[in-house]
Amino acid sequence: MRVGIVGVLVVALAGVAAPFAAQNEAPATLTAAAPEATVALDRAREAAAGLGRDLLARLSAELAAGGPVSATRVCAEVAPALAAAHSRDGLTVYRVSARPRNPAGRPDPWEAAELERLAAQLRAGEMPAEVSAVVTTEDGPVLRYLKPLRIVTPCLRCHGDPATFSPELTAALAERYPADEGVGYREGDLRGAISVTVPLTAATAP
């Protein structure tokens, strides 16, 4: 049974924290800052894929070893460390959600607007695989990138109807996430996204 859960999680994550302060950002096209934006987009995709891959590996191991209660430790303790490990050379990567389980995962204004747009596109059956834009900030132009994350069946064991949770899981979530908003989802819903920011001045950094 757990092998099947891990297999579905591969689909969920393979399709793939201190949030960046998005103030006075002016959208631009990627071509406006080429070739730096092209390099930055490649770096953003690589970082999002790397975080998704590493998080999948840890979640798979915890689910196989101890089920959903054990997996809550990964999201609470391991995921932030993995995000920090993939944030380097000016690039930052982390997960965000309009309904965060951890308040640190609340989106900034740009992310919130794009998540709302993605949710509307999903309802219309036309959600893109990724979102990217060059924006201007007080510190210069940056590339913003989102890789959407959707709910699949195994996610519902921790993010579905709380009435279906075991007492042990309910207690673990209450202890780790007293301000939890990440419940009540259905299969196929937009859970959030992996967010990446790359300063264009650092886009070509080795």
Local mean pLDDT, 10-residue blocks, the chain (206 residues): 31 37 39 76 97 91 89 90 96 97 95 98 96 94 97 90 96 94 96 97 58
pLDDT of residue 201: 79
Rounded to 10 degrees, what is the CA torsion of 83, 37, 20, 141? Answer: 150
pTM assigned to the model:
0.82
pLDDT of residue 3: 29
Q: What's residue 36's pLDDT?
A: 87
Paired sense of beta strands 131-137 and 190-199, if any: unpaired
Q: What is the pLDDT of residue 111?
A: 98
At 124, which amino acid appears?
A
Domain positions in the chain are 2-202
**Residue at 200: amino acid letter:** L
